Structure 1
Amino acid sequence: MKIKIFSIAISFIVITACESAFIVTSKNIKHGGANKNINLYAFVGKKISVTEFDPNKNKEPEPKGEYEIDEETGDTLKFVRKHYIMDGAFKCKYQVLRKMFNYLETDTVEFIAYDHYGTPGFAENDTVILYISKSKDGGHYFHQKYQFDKPYINKKGYYYSYPKFNGSESPETIQNMTGFDRTFSDEKDDVSHLNPEAIKMYYPPKFYKIENNFAIPIKGIYLNQLINYRLSTTFKDL
């Protein structure tokens, strides 16, 4: 039997564009300010541009392939593997208005964001609280997928926001959190699809009121408390 080698059969490995695997982990988390052991940069940013690009353009197949015998013809086929990113990809540029955790060296920053559902949610607002990290090779920053907060500013010029809960917080964590009274009437989450227990988990009554099947934040927190909370929960494994 003659052995024929073909480089035409391509097997695709589908990967999502979550770059969390590139994060340098540390168990010694210090809240607030700066900690070089934590690969996270948090800041209030003003949108300059958010531009979609094709993350798979000019991607070359891996040079080393795998061989397999075709059951029908008996020929030997060479399979070349190609990684394919399913998420939408965006090049983002933001002006840094206020640094919250770890310090970016410039007043503007560029980073890559991936989103499986289309344009990232943070791009809907001109000003937003963002969380980014450095890639493993240090060549670029990337957005912590789906993570952002909406900033507000009071008459004295202080930024604040409100906490978002992921349902894994202990009752003690929520009870120990403090805030100031402030109803965010422009922020409403539909909770009609959630049962009462789930509503309590994601929208605890200390920080939210339920009205006409919508959860509305009723307490604000300042940025130092927000980043401390984020480091203790969302980003505790960085």
Structure 2
Amino acid sequence: MTKTLLLTFFLFSILTFGQKVTVKGIALDSTNGFHRVQITINDTIHKYLKNAKLNIDEYKQLYSNKNYAVQADKKGRFKIKALPNDSLYFRYNHQITQAYLVSDLILREKIKIVLEPEKCEEYIPCKEENPKLYVFIGKKINVDYSKRKYYCNRISLDSKFDAEYKIVENLYGDFKKDTINFVVYDHYGKPGFSEYENVILYVAEYCGELVHVKYQYNNVYKTKNGKWASPYQGFDYEKLDSLKIKKPEILEFENEITFEFGKDTDTLWFDKRFPKPYYETNGFKAKAVYGNYAIDIFEIKKKTDLKSRGFFE
């Protein structure tokens, strides 16, 4: 009876004053400790990652911040400080995430969490021989992480994203709707095109699913004559092998297009990425002078990247 009263008083005190408590116990995945379970407070990290653009250092700092998360050791032992009204999420890849209120966990005499594996499904490859291609200028509505299917017979090292774009102008394939939803696979994190408001996108239909043609896009901007155009991108021309193609030309954009980088930027990379006279440069700031209209960019892609991927002969 005395212990119960003391525990009740203890819980009342921490709930009243919002003081953090230490939660410690054992957390294992279904391999019994072969992998280390991650314990996060209120799923904060994963919510943040869905909306943030992080470089690798920021990513590591976030995961090492014990205000957000800790990782169980080889024996599954963990210790974390949290508020009684917080929730702790226990997770690992291909394991079913479990969540518990801190106020419930601290009532336990011993805390031992054992995750269960997700059920996998067989991967059946799509054998689409002639996928339909859609090329369009799109305005971003949303690009967000998507949960990948867990296949028994296939491992993917790419992140998966769901994307939704408003179609501003069709360039090829004549997609019939005003908006388009498609999936994106990217090995390096959030897709590069998600940084821009308007882009030329290349989306193919495989076995009834719309999929972004990996890494293919061009950021575009309105010119004063009302057309869409992209600043000069030298790597597109490097793939042409002297084929006759529309050369870049001086363009007047509605708004000045500039790209600016920090003082630690690699000079050789900057000079190659923003060469003169195609850009006016000052330090590590580059103003676009030359470029190509959207239809000409598509013609370049037809003879290079899209040709190499089998869309055009």
TM-score (norm 2): 0.48
Which of 230, 233, 238 is the matching residue for 1:161? Answer: 230
**Could you tell me whether the CA contact under 8 Å between 2:204 and 2:211 is conserved in 1?**
yes
Structure 1 match to 2:300: 229
Give the letter aligned to residue 177 of structure 1: K
> Could you tell which deviates more after superposition, 37-46 or 126-135?
37-46
CA deviations over 1:33-68 (Å, ceiling 9, x no partner): xxxx78432111122222211213xx342xxxxxxx
SS in 1 for 2:193: helix
**Could you tell me whether the CA contact under 8 Å between 1:42 and 1:130 is conserved in 2?**
yes
**Could you tell me whether the CA contact under 8 Å between 2:131 and 2:204 is conserved in 1?**
no
* Higher strand proportion: 1
Query: Whose relative contact order is higher, 1 or 2, with alpha carbons under 8 Å and at least 6 apart?
Result: 1
* Greater C-alpha Rg: 2
Which of 177, 180, 184 is the matching residue for 2:247? Answer: 177
**Could you tell me whether the CA contact under 8 Å between 2:231 and 2:291 is conserved in 1?**
yes
Please give the alpha-carbon distance, in whole angstroms, between the structure 2 residues aligned to 1:102 and 1:127. Answer: 19
Structure 1 match to 2:121: none
- 1:134 is aligned to 2:205: yes
Q: CA RMSD in A?
A: 3.5
Structure 1 match to 2:283: 212
- 1:46 is aligned to 2:117: no
SS in 2 for 1:177: coil
Please give the alpha-carbon distance, in whole angstroms, between the structure 2 residues aligned to 1:178 and 1:186. Answer: 17
SS in 2 for 1:85: coil
Please give the alpha-carbon distance, in whole angstroms, between the structure 1 residues aligned to 2:244 and 2:285. Answer: 20
**Could you tell me whether the CA contact under 8 Å between 2:159 and 2:189 is conserved in 1?**
yes
Runs of 4+ in 1 over 6 A off after TM superposition: none
SS in 2 for 1:160: strand
Alignment of 1:62-141 (within 5 A): 82-135=153-206, 137=207, 139-141=208-210
Count residues in correspondence. 181
Please give the alpha-carbon distance, in whole angstroms, between the structure 1 residues aligned to 2:266 and 2:224. Answer: 37
**Could you tell me whether the CA contact under 8 Å between 1:132 and 1:142 is conserved in 2?**
yes
Q: 5+ residue gaps in structure 2?
A: 1-30, 32-125
Q: Classify 1:39/1:155 alpha carbon distance in 2 versus 1 (closer, same or farther; 3 Å).
A: same
* Higher helix proportion: 2
TM-score (norm 1): 0.61
Structure 2 match to 1:186: 258
**Could you tell me whether the CA contact under 8 Å between 1:44 and 1:130 is conserved in 2?**
yes
Please give the alpha-carbon distance, in whole angstroms, between the structure 2 residues aligned to 1:22 and 1:168. Answer: 32
Q: Classify 1:60/1:172 alpha carbon distance in 2 versus 1 (closer, same or farther; 3 Å).
A: closer
Give the % identical residues. Answer: 25
Structure 2 match to 1:148: 217
CA deviations over 1:173-231 (Å, ceiling 9, x no partner): 599614124485423578954649x955x555453455425655320221111111121
Please give the alpha-carbon distance, in whole angstroms, between the structure 2 residues aligned to 1:23 and 1:227. Answer: 23
